[in-house]
Each structure stands twice: as C-alpha cells, then as structure tokens.
Amino acid sequence: MPTPIRTTATRKLRTLLAALLPLLAALLVAAPTAAARTDAADAVPTATLTEVTDFGANPSNLRMYVYVPAGVTADPAVLVAVHWCTGSGPDMYNGTEYDTLADQYGFVVVYPSVTRSSKCFDVSSPQALRRDGGSDPVGIRSMVDWVTRTYDADTDRVFATGISSGAMMTNVLLGDYPDVFAAGAAFAGVPFGCFATTDGSEWNSACANGTVTHTPQQWGDLVRGAHPGYSGPRPRMQLWHGTEDDVLRHPNLGEMIKQWTNVQGVGQTPAATDTPQTGWTRTRYGGTGDRASVEAISLQGVGHNLYGYGMAARVLTFFGLDGGGPAPQPQPGACKVTATTNAWNTGLTASVTITNTGTTAINGWRLGFTLPAGQSITSGWGATYAPASGAVTGSSASYNAALAPGASVSIGYQANHTGNSAAPGAFTLNGTACASG
C-alpha cells in the first residue's frame, strides 16, 4: 500500500472524496471499466513522496518511493533516480531537483532505496549482471512495471539516472534491460560489469581505482551478454565524471565511453567537442546534438561529489523530457541569430532574435552562447538562462517553445560588464551552429 512521506491536506481530501464517492459509484455503473487510465486502488497522493509496497518481484527487499506531480501528463514518462552508497530514496528525492522538474514536465519519478547495511546497490554479483537474474535490477524493473500499470506510462520513455552507486546501477539497468530503458545518465560511475565479483564482496578495488581496462568490443560484449539474443535498439547514455574523483577514478569515464559507443555501434572519435560551462569538456559520439548516442562530460578539478544544481535539467535535455519528448533537431545552417546590445556604465541589455531557417518545426529549443569576459547575466526574458556567465544556455519558455519553419522569437537579458559590452559572437540552437544576422 502507498504511504505518504510528506504531510498533505488529508482532511480536505477526505471531505472531497466523501462528496464524490456517490457520484463515482453512479458513473462506474454506467461506464466501462476500461475507461479508467489509472488503478484508483494503487494511485498515490500527488505532489508528495510516497512509499509503495507490494509492487512486484523484489528479491533483494528494496523499498520503492514514488513522486507523482499534481499535473502528471497522460501516458507519462518514467524516470528512475537511483541513490548513492549510504543514501536512500528519500535522500535522492531531497538532494536532487527531479521532483520539481516533474512538476514542470509531468513525468513520474521512482526512487529505489536499498535496505542492506551498506546502503549500496548490488552491481557486482552474477545475479545482478544478467537479465532477470535476481537482486536489485529485478526489483527496480518491478517498480517501473508498477508505474506503467498504474499510470498507463509511456513504455518508450523510461529513463534511469544515478549518482555513484546509483550511477553504477544505471549502467547495470541499461545493460540488463535494454528493452525497458530508452536512455541513462550516470554521475561518477563505472562501466557495466567492471565491479563484478564472485566472492560475495560488494567492492572491486581494481575497478574503483580505474585499473580495469578492456577493448571497446570486450566492454560491449559484457553488456550484450546480460541479455543474450537481444537485437533491438540500445539505450543512449550520458556520462558525468570529475577528473579528481578519488573514489571511482576518472579513467572509468574513458572505459564507459568505450563500452557504450561500442554498444551503440558508433565510432570512438567525438562527433562534437565543446565547453558548455567553464571547466567542463563535453564530447558527443554518434551525433552532434542534444540526443547524441553517447554524451560524456568531464569536469576539470572536480572530485567524486560532482552532482550540482542545474545538472538535472541537462539530464532532461539529453533524455528529451524537457519539451514533451524528443524534439526534431535543426540541421546545420537551419537557424539564424541576430544579437545587439545597449550598454551604460557597468550594465547592458541584449536583444536576441532566433529564426528557424530550416524546413522542420522545432518544439523546445536551447540557445547556446558564450558571454564575453567580464559579463554576467542578472535577469532575462523569453528564456531561462544558466549559468550567469561563461558558456550560457537559454532554454525556451512554455509559450515560445514552438518555432515553425521561417518563424522567429525575440528574447533578451540584462547583464553587468567590466568594460566589454559586446554581444556574443556565436550561437548554437539545440547543439547546431547558427548563422549570424
């Protein structure tokens, strides 16, 4: 049964239900049962973290927490958010922004929670590293199935993300269940199978230290071996890692890139390399836009605790959850941007016009640009800007996300400057370079 974790206006809800029950009973007599989209006996209170029990097969006694936004969409997407060692589902809920992003975009978030003493997920046992072999992946699959049944969720839009132990589990879930998960995002993890042990130990020091290396083919074979005979599409993967990670060392990022590019059947040479934020190096494989087959972000000088505010939004962009699903990407030369500034003393305003010069409509856009040195955005309109300086992304608002071929949208921002009040010199739209107007 679901058990609310945060307090809600329970008495008001009960009063409302008491008034509605007679009407509902009458409707049920007249309407076919197949008309209901959710199972009312299972649906959880909205806008509050809730524990669900008896959700299905659960061989390792995981606990399931779920967050359903008040504005959950029809056929919602599902995001599985997996916690770190010593953490819990509620910790992951409180320590990340996925619930507030769910409020904005209408998807359902599942927070698995370990009950074993280490509070680490099993990513090392033979049972965990094969499809339906037992242990934690089976329980998490059951959680996804529960949400799918209860909310008629979109089985083509199920995603996983995790931090540390949760990042390792993200790799495992995508290997065990390529037919369930469309994409994953792993923050400070290791490749699928890297932590494998046969002595019951949960820890693999060689892997943690970054000394386990294989060829791309060998890494890919480990993933394919988890579900022999599967020939369908494979999940896309986004990888995050700090260069100074002293728990799961940085060489693991290179090994994960080898693994998932091989699984995806794309080359080892990046199709695109950029710096979305100071100190970050992002490489994309198999594509240059926001939905590349594999995307890796290396954070210079950052340790194991790399997750920070704003990164979840970038995860949603990679998944395609920040605009109701994957948006068609503009092709090279399919956009044009005109930017002017009006400056005074140490301040300026910038006016920016974006034009879709392609032949395909854009539904949800992200404008990338780099501010001149000394400039810092203080406010803006028509888009959400982050971060305030350096390599900035302006994300569309709900009212101007759609750009038909030939259509334009005007946005702008106010910024401080230390002498250089020029407009940015180059722009990208959803990862594609735009012509300047």
Does residue 326 have a pLDDT over 60? Answer: no
Structure confidence by residue, pLDDT tens digits, 360-415: 778 778 888 889 999 999 999 999 888 888 888 888 887 888 888 889 999 999 99
Q: Can you read off the two tokens belonging to residue 379?
A: 């406010």
Give the largest Cα separation in the chain, rounded: 73
Q: Which residues contact 140 (CB under 8 A, 6 or more apart)?
A: 62, 80, 82, 110, 112, 169, 173
Give 283's strand partners.
273, 296
From residue 47, give the alpha-carbon distance in Å to each of 35, 44, 118, 144.
24, 9, 30, 19
Contact status, residue 269 vs residue 224, Cβ threshold 8 Å: no
Q: Is the pLDDT of residue 25 over 90?
A: no
294: Cα separation from own chain's centroid? 13
List of E strands, 300-375: 335-344, 347-356, 362-363, 366-370
pLDDT at 43 over 60: yes
Whether the predicted pLDDT of 34 surpasses 60 = no
First vs last Cα of the chain: how many Å apart?
59
- List the one residue out of 368, 385, 376 whose CA is nearest residue 417: 376
pLDDT digits (tens, 9 = 90+) for 61-115: 999 999 999 999 999 999 999 999 999 999 999 999 999 999 999 999 999 999 9
In sequence order, what are the residues at sequence separation of 6 or more whose Cβ sits closer than 8 angstroms to the Cβ of residue 250? 210, 241, 242, 243, 244, 298
- pLDDT of 29 over the 90 cut: no
Contacts of 78 (CB under 8 A, 6+ apart): 107, 108, 109, 110, 144, 147, 148, 153, 154, 157, 158, 159
If residue 379 lies in a helix (H) or strand (E), which one and from where to where? strand 376-381
Asked whether 396 and 383 are in contact (CB, 8 A), the reply is: yes
For the chain, give the percent of residues with pLDDT over 90: 72
256 to 42, 79, 140, 222, 332: CA distances (angstroms): 38, 21, 22, 12, 29
Q: Give the whole-angstrom CA distance, residue 345 versus residue 15.
A: 60
Gap between the Cα atoms of 266 and 293, Å rounded: 8
Q: Pick the closest to residue 330 from 364, 296, 297 (CA basis).
A: 364
Residues 6+ apart with CB under 8 A from 120: 85, 86, 114, 165, 202
| Region class of 345: left (phi > 0), else alpha (psi between -120 and 50), else beta | left
Rounded CA gap, 250 and 247, in Å?
9
Least confident of 38-47, 242-251, 372-381: 38-47
Q: Cα(193)–Cα(250) distance, rounded to whole angstroms?
A: 17
Per-residue pLDDT, 74: 95
With a cut of 50, say whether residue 270 has pLDDT above it.
yes
**Across 141-145, 317-321, 431-435, least confident range:** 431-435
Cα distance between residue 19 and residue 25, in whole Å: 11
How high is the pLDDT of residue 212?
A: 98
pLDDT of residue 5: 52
What span, in angstroms and rounded, lies between the C-alpha atoms of 413 and 150? 43
| pTM of model > 0.85 | no
**pLDDT at position 39:** 58
pLDDT band at 40 (very low <50, low <70, confident <90, very high): low
Residue 425 carries which DSSP code? S
Classified as helix, coil or strand, 22 is helix
Whole-angstrom Cα distance, residue 213 to residue 285? 20
pLDDT in tens, 193-210: 999 998 889 999 999 999
Q: Which two tokens stand for residue 314?
A: 């970038």
Instruction: For tokens 């950052």, name the residue.
Output: 302
C-alpha 146, offset from chain centre: 20
Specify the pLDDT at position 362: 81
Catalytic residues: 164
**Per-residue model confidence as pLDDT tens digits over 170-181:** 999 999 999 999
How many residues are there in the chain?
437
Q: What is the pLDDT of residue 299?
A: 97
Confidence at residue 255, expressed as pLDDT on a 0 to 100 scale:
98
pLDDT band at residue 41 under the 50/70/90 scheme:
low
The overall average pLDDT reported for the chain is 88
What pLDDT, on the 0 to 100 scale, is given for residue 371? 92
**What tokens appear for 394 in the block?**
């302006």
Peptide bond before residue 372 is cis, with ω within 30 degrees of 0: no
pLDDT, tens digit (0-9, with 9 covering 90-100), for 330-359:
344 478 999 999 999 999 999 999 998 887
Residue 31 has a pLDDT of: 34
348 strand-pairing partners? 343, 415
310: alpha, beta or left? (left if phi > 0; alpha if psi -120 to 50):
left
Q: What distance in Å separates the CA atoms of residue 64 and residue 58, rounded to the nearest whole number?
A: 10
Q: What is the mean pLDDT of residues 138-161?
A: 98
